[in-house]
């Protein structure tokens, strides 16, 4: 009983966070229960092409737009899953298992693509590859047929989209897998090696299964980003559920149909998450020794090192160096007549916004993860999972949903609403928190999982309460997780667009909105490349500062 009472503040904090984070879900559920609108019925039916004398093509039934959206999304998900897993896990394994000169530098290089917003990457790859795309198209058209060329351009855009998204999102898997491999108990690895397994076999039989929860967490983020990607899909001309949501909302003025499509999307995501949880069952993945013993890596032959360098540098070149090269080249075209002074303020305000939001998210995520640890009841786990669903809602839909929350506030407590949304950016920060809670939660939860429960019990038996245990035992052990969370959060929020545009107060320009304005609205690539480049540089600076802190703190 006493124990239960002690957990009460933790339970309450979790419920409070869940209540705030789930407010958009409530809105979505009520919308879905309303009768369907015209567009919903229209897009879910197959298209019948009426007989028409002027139309020479034979009458045919085409798949419904909804089927197109779903298949587009599934192709993207399948492709990105495969590629991010291959790239993320292999690079993480190579850079943790082996010890070689330049390992830290390579590790940092592999994280850098995170600093480039996906739509910027898409624009730059378009610039880079367009001539080749054109020559391929013309060659196929002239050697085979125009129809084959048209078909080829469809394959091209899907391949390119999968490549771009995977290059953008593999760092999620890389970071998660790397942390897992690094923290793996050496006892397991050494036993396996002594028992005669090769390094590769040890990796497949021991390291990989042990790293599974972390890798899945990283992959989940990559997939959620993929399914919600709008900018790059638009640029490359691919129809997915997310572009369908926008079409329903913008072209048909049917917010209800848009919400309905996002509900389908969330259902897919929720099913995937639950499925993974069921498959994982009750297995525990913490190490049996103190987590402090880190994998130091083994030395290896010169030829192996060459292979490692070639793979990682090839990936870095594709994911970072090439797009940055193009970005710099474009920016230099517009640089001569630009006044860079205003950008300084923009860097400071954008970073400060991202820092504040990151701190709020890390605190909320720690509360959630710790409550789930000390009270591992099914309903707590469910509440936690529900609070994390903000990431599954497309940014713009979340923005619109929060607008209606804001509208309600204006009517009931106007001064609070004014403060939240008009005089300060507090409302925007809370919106970021709802959207990015998962991003902060995953590494922190994974970090908690790696801490042996015996430590908690020892602390309790020594008479420490839950708060002291958290502060004195867990927080120091979790610092790697916090930094991993902080890195991803800072960079993600810096790049965030839809919420910033929809909910921001007056005159709230950020580097991302500035880039967007020039790229998307004005289509002035050279001019837009300047804020884009500054955005990337700011993210990089954040990454570097955090990774320096990380290195200093290492024992």
Q: Which is nearer to other proteins, 18 or 431 (CB)?
A: 431
Contact 421, 399 (CB under 8 A): no
Q: Which is nearer to other proteins, 180 or 331 (CB)?
A: 331
Binding of residue 552 to other proteins (CB under 8 A): no
Span 339-368, contacts to other proteins by CB under 8 A: none
Q: Residues 395-434: x/- map of binding to other proteins (CB under 8 A)?
A: -x--xx--xx-xx--xx--x--xx---x------------
Number of residues that bind other proteins (CB under 8 A): 76
Distance from C-alpha of 136 to C-alpha of 152, rounded to nearest angstrom: 9
Span 93-132, contacts to other proteins by CB under 8 A: 126, 130-131
Span 152-181, contacts to other proteins by CB under 8 A: 153-154, 157
Binding of residue 246 to other proteins (CB under 8 A): yes
Binding of residue 43 to other proteins (CB under 8 A): yes
H helix or E strand, kind and range, residue 62: strand 61-62
Binding of residue 496 to other proteins (CB under 8 A): no
DSSP states along 347-403:
HHHHHHHHHHHHHHHHHHHHHHHHHHHH---HHHHHHHHHHGGGGGS-HHHHHHHHH
Span 517-546, contacts to other proteins by CB under 8 A: 517-518, 520-527
Q: Residues 134-153: x/- map of binding to other proteins (CB under 8 A)?
A: x--xx--x----x--xx--x
Q: Which is nearer to other proteins, 112 or 431 (CB)?
A: 431
Contact 311, 475 (CB under 8 A): no
Contact residue for other proteins among 307, 359, 501, 550 (CB under 8 A): 501
Binding of residue 49 to other proteins (CB under 8 A): yes
Binding of residue 209 to other proteins (CB under 8 A): no
Distance from C-alpha of 517 to C-alpha of 513, rounded to nearest angstrom: 6
Distance from C-alpha of 511 to C-alpha of 496, rounded to nearest angstrom: 10
Residue reference for tokens 């848009």: 258
In the chain, the N- to C-terminal Cα span, in Å, equals 41
CB of 48 to other proteins, least distance (A): 9
Q: Residues 446-475: x/- map of binding to other proteins (CB under 8 A)?
A: ------------------------------
Binding of residue 74 to other proteins (CB under 8 A): no
Distance from C-alpha of 76 to C-alpha of 383, rounded to nearest angstrom: 29
Q: Which is nearer to other proteins, 47 or 386 (CB)?
A: 47
Cα–chain center distance at 197: 35
CB of 506 to other proteins, least distance (A): 4
Q: Which is nearer to other proteins, 60 or 552 (CB)?
A: 60
Give 304's Cβ-side CA count (13 Å radius).
Answer: 13
Contact residue for other proteins among 76, 165, 176, 236 (CB under 8 A): 236
CB atoms within 10 A of CB 503: 23
Contact residue for other proteins among 184, 330, 358, 384 (CB under 8 A): 330
CB of 400 to other proteins, least distance (A): 5
Binding of residue 237 to other proteins (CB under 8 A): yes
For 73-204, strand residue ranges (E) read 98-99
Task: Name the token pair of 445.
Answer: 């939860």
Binding of residue 516 to other proteins (CB under 8 A): yes
Q: Which is nearer to other proteins, 130 or 457 (CB)?
A: 130
Cα–chain center distance at 418: 31
CB of 510 to other proteins, least distance (A): 11
Q: What is the DSSP letter of 421?
A: I
H helix or E strand, kind and range, residue 303: helix 302-316
Question: Which range binds other proteins by CB under 8 A, 163-171, 195-203, 502-510, 535-543?
Answer: 502-510
Q: Residues 274-313: x/- map of binding to other proteins (CB under 8 A)?
A: ----------------------------------------
Per DSSP, the three-state class of 64 is coil
Distance from C-alpha of 501 to C-alpha of 495, rounded to nearest angstrom: 12
Contact 488, 175 (CB under 8 A): yes
Angle, CA 144 vertex, CA 142 and CA 145 arms, to 5°: 80
């Amino acid at each position: 009983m006493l124990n239960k009472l002690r957990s009460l503040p933790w339970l309450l904090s979790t419920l409070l966070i869940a209540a705030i984070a789930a407010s958009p879900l409530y809105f979505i559920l009520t919308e879905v229960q309303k009768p369907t609108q015209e567009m919903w019925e229209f897009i879910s039916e197959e298209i019948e092409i009426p007989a028409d004398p002027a139309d020479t093509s034979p009458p045919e039934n085409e798949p419904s737009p909804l089927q197109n959206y779903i298949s587009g999304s599934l192709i993207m998900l399948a492709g990105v899953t495969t590629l991010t897993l291959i790239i993320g896990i292999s690079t993480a394994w190579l850079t943790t298992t082996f010890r070689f000169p330049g390992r830290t530098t390579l590790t940092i290089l592999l994280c850098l693509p995170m600093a480039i917003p996906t739509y910027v990457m898409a624009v730059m790859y378009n610039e880079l590859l367009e001539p080749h795309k054109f020559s391929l198209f013309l060659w196929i058209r002239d050697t085979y047929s125009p129809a084959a060329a048209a078909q080829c351009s469809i394959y091209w855009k899907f391949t390119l989209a999968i490549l771009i998204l995977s290059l953008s999102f593999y760092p999620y898997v890389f970071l998660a897998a790397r942390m897992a491999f690094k923290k793996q108990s050496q006892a397991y690895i050494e036993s396996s090696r002594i028992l005669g397994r090769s390094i590769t076999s040890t990796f497949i039989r021991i390291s990989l299964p042990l790293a599974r929860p972390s890798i899945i967490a990283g992959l989940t983020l990559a997939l959620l980003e993929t399914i919600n990607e709008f900018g790059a899909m638009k640029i490359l001309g691919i129809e997915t559920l997310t572009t369908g949501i926008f079409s329903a909302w913008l072209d048909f003025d049917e917010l209800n149909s848009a919400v309905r499509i996002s509900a389908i999307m969330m259902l897919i995501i929720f099913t995937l998450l639950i499925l993974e949880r069921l498959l994982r069952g009750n297995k525990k993945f913490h190490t049996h020794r103190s987590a402090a013993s880190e994998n130091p890596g083994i030395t290896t032959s010169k030829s192996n090192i060459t292979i490692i360098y070639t793979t990682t540098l090839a990936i870095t070149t594709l994911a970072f160096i090439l797009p940055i090269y193009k970005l710099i080249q474009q920016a230099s075209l517009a640089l001569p007549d630009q006044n860079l002074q205003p950008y300084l303020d923009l860097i400071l305000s954008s970073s400060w916004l991202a820092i504040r939001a990151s701190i709020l998210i890390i605190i909320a995520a720690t509360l959630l993860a710790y409550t789930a640890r000390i009270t591992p009841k099914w309903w707590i786990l469910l509440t936690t999972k529900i609070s994390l669903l903000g990431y599954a809602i497309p940014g713009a839909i979340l923005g619109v949903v929060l607008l209606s929350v804001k509208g309600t506030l204006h009517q009931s407590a106007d001064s609070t609403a004014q403060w939240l949304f008009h005089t300060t950016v507090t409302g925007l920060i809370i919106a970021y928190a709802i959207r990015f809670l998962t991003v902060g939660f995953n590494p922190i939860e994974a970090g908690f999982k790696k801490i042996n429960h015996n430590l908690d019990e020892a602390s309790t038996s020594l008479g420490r309460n839950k708060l002291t245990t958290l502060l004195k035992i867990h927080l120091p052990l979790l610092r790697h997780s916090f930094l991993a969370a902080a890195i991803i959060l800072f960079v993600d929020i810096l790049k965030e667009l839809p919420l910033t545009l929809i909910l921001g107060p007056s005159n709230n320009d950020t580097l991302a909105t500035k880039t967007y304005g020039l790229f998307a609205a004005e289509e002035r690539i050279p001019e837009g490349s300047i804020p884009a480049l500054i955005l990337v540089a700011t993210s990089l600076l954040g990454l570097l500062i955090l990774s320096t802190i990380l290195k200093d703190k290492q024992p």
